[in-house]
Amino acid sequence: MKSVTEQRLLVTGNEAAAIGVKLSNVRFISAYPITPQTTIVEKLAEMVSKGELKSRYVEVESEHSAMAAVYTAALAGSRSYTATSSHGLLYMHEMLHWTAGMRVPLVTSVVNRAIGPPWNVWADQSDSMNQKDTGWLQVYCESNQETLDTIIAGYKIAENRDVMLPLMSMEDAFVLSHTSEPVTVPNQSMVDEFLPEYKPEFVVDVNNPRGYGSYATPEGPFMELKYDMVSSMERAKSVIRDTLREYSDTFGREYSGLTENYMMDDADYAFITSGTLASTAKYVVNKLRKEGKKVGLIRIKFFRPFPQEEIREALKHVNAAGVIDRSVSFSAGGSLYSDVIASIYRKLDVPVSGFVAGIGGRDVRISDFEHMFSLVQDGTEGMQWIGLKEVD
Amino acid sequence: MPLSIPATELMEPGHTACHGCGATLTMRYVLKALGKNTVMSVPASCWAVIPGELPYRTLDVPMIYTPFAATGASITGIRESLDLQGKQDYNVVGFAGDGGTADIGLQSLSGAMERGHNVFYIMYDNEGYMNTGVQRSASTPAGAYTTTTPVGPMRNYKKQPKKVVADLMIAQGVPYVATATVAYPEDLIRKLKTATEIVGPKFIQILAPCPTGWYFPPEETVEISRLAVKSKMFPLFESIKGKFKLFRPGSPVPVSEYLKKQDRFKHLNEAEIETIQKSVDERWNELVSREKTV
Ligand SMILES: Cc1ncc(C[n+]2csc(CCOP(=O)(O)OP(=O)(O)O)c2C)c(N)n1
Ligand code: SF4
């Protein structure tokens, strides 16, 4: 059911993220600026100063501190948010493990940007792919609409008692973060109904003193607690599916779950990718279909938890697939590629090609996709770099 | 003088500190001063281990553990979040070692103090990284042996003077800055109570002798911390909104009295002790003149 009072606005991905934060009734925000995340936190600071958003906004001196402040604020009982990118996210790495291990259901926006040297501010998912083993749920958004919706749905997923893990929502630098698109902004009262007030089970209370995160020995519950995180990540899959279905029903979207399949029903070949490369891929799929080539796309929206089941199901009837990583994983193939291969191992006999494309913001053109398609058709194995220039 | 130490005990038996641990006494007095409405944030340090293994806890206040560098930021989050919920009556305390304060945590401490949150930051100063096995910190005094400043034929002991974190805090304009030690618990508790009256950041550096890392018998903790003050190696002062007050020990002793009690200084020769004495005198004179100028 659509709300009559929802608004249609022309906004950048970063503005969409800020609007999502505001609608989610976040009470505590702390962040440190880094291009191309800055316009998110500037927008939030502006909303707070105008009184449109009733939050505390604390300007800290580093990303490590930003994450430290938001996890403690959440433990002390306030819904909290931060945003970062690239080197900022790397600087947070220790804290990312800590917040997930503390089971604090934060939502954090990450604008995917390359890691230096050399300095480069353009789109590249190496920053968040580096964090894949921190215990955070990871969503790679394809549009500004999805960026907004993911924050609201993200809090509901993260705060679910079956999950209680933080969630990272990604936007490709500039392609989403600084590009305007029409976005439907849901109305506040409907969001309030969808996303109840933050009420954690373990909140800091002097009348019920507890310890949060002291040490555990090899015989203590350490291993069990890590196992519980892994189980929660698995349980998160059905929570994600249910929550996105409910979100779609409530706000009139079409989010199907951890992945999005495009023209996969009768596909002989499949592209697999994430983020905005999926938009180009969809265009190319349409083009190749007109040429009589039966190709489809699996967009990996949730990279954590990893959608093994969805990928296996979608690849059941294809002849070959090609995975496109917009990130570098040294010596082990791409991160998406490795996980896709691992999820079909001994279950499906499908050749999978791997591609590294578009890193450091390099354009991935229609002709590049057509080239990748021919390599997939040929069953080319291993990782190929797409769009490399001759260097002497 | 009537005894002013509150009888309330918020530290339970069963902790895992070494015998004679000054850091444990420090926590005990701090909690006596601040009472039960206190939330502690503790980074990696001896105190991350002392309260005991999860899920046990030997302190009757909520404790949030935090990574080594994050104490200042963690109390920022706790304080602001509690204020948002109308819990202004909670004391929020960062309780960190000298390593977590003078070195890795200095950025986040400085940030929190600069923003002016209504928090306490307690630096329990055992003058080294004790939890990892007695390594040097910036707060280790010149001349000390540590496992990363060992004393071989090259006399490779700590050469740099102790970093003056409390002075940095005064320079930053922190409204309440003080030093204290466990040999003077009334003074320690009075300082914390005075600090409670101030809305804003409060920084208190408490010398916490460590028998394990300073190499002295565990029963001498209090005596050694008293000698630290009497020898002026660890001057006690207080700065309230910039007004500086120095506490003069009743019967001062030369630094050699203090140094000879601890095996971390046993390699020092007369000349080296003389150099330390000189620098202690210089610092003391500077502190005395600072008191006069305000
Ligand atoms: C980022 C990081 N680096 C190093 C360590 C290892 N570490 C744990 S405690 C500690 C020393 C703590 O020293 P201090 O703050 O003086 O407290 P103390 O142990 O003396 O009580 C170190 C180096 C760590 N936990 N985290
Ligand atoms: S090493 Fe020192 S500070 Fe640490 S518990 Fe032992 S005595 Fe206390």
Distance B101 CA to ligand 1 centre (A): 10
Q: What is the layout of strands, in order, in the sheet containing A28-31?
A: A56-59, A28-31, A80-85, A107-112, A167-172, A137-140, A302-304
Q: CA-based angle B84:A81:A303, to the nearest 5?
A: 150
- A138 within 8 A of A10, measured Cβ to Cβ: no
pLDDT on residue A392: 72
Q: What pLDDT was estimated at residue B188? A: 97
A251-276 pLDDT, tens digit each = 999 998 999 999 999 999 999 999 99
Tokens of A294: 């039966």
Nearest protein Cα to ligand 2, atom 2? B210
For the Cβ of B126 lying below 6 angstroms from any atom of ligand 2, the answer is yes
- pLDDT, average across residues A124-137: 98
> Does B122 sit in the ligand 2 pocket, CB within 6 Å?
no
Q: What angle do CA A35, A38, A42 make, to 5 degrees?
A: 165
Partner residue facing B54 (CB), from A59, A75, A215 = A215
Question: Residue A211 and residue B90: Cβ atoms within 8 Å?
Answer: no
Distances (CA, A) of B290 to A21, B170, B232, B233: 49, 12, 16, 17
Contact with chain B for residue A209, Cβ under 8 A: yes
Model ipTM value: 0.94
Q: What is the pLDDT of residue B1?
A: 57
Average pLDDT, chain B: 95
d(CA B117, CA B202): 9
pLDDT tens, residue by residue, B153-209: 887 799 999 999 999 999 999 999 999 999 999 999 999 999 999 999 999 999 999
The yes-or-no verdict on residue A67 having pLDDT over 70 is: yes
Per-residue pLDDT at B291 exceeds 90: no
Give all strands (DSSP E) within B183-247, no chain letters. 202-207, 236-240, 243-247
pLDDT of B215 reads 98
Letter string b/e over residues A339-352, b meaning 16 or more CB atoms within 10 A of that residue's CB: bbbebbeeebebeb
Atom 8 of ligand 2: nearest residue by CA position? B21
- Quick one: A189 exposed, middle or buried, by C-beta within 10 A (0-12, 13-18, 19+)? exposed
- Of A156, A135, A152, the residue nearest A239 (C-alpha): A156
Q: Is there an atom of ligand 2 within 6 Å of B212 CB?
A: yes
Interface list for chain B against chain A, based on CB atoms closer than 8 Å? 36-39, 41, 48-49, 51-57, 59-67, 69-70, 72-78, 80-85, 90, 107-108, 110-111, 114-115
Distance B8 CA to ligand 2 centre (A): 24
Residue B126 near ligand 1, beta carbon < 6 Å: yes
For residues A94 and A107, give the distance between their C-alpha atoms in angstroms, rounded to a whole number. 17
pLDDT value for B293 = 64
Quote the ligand 2 centre to B31 CA distance (angstroms): 18
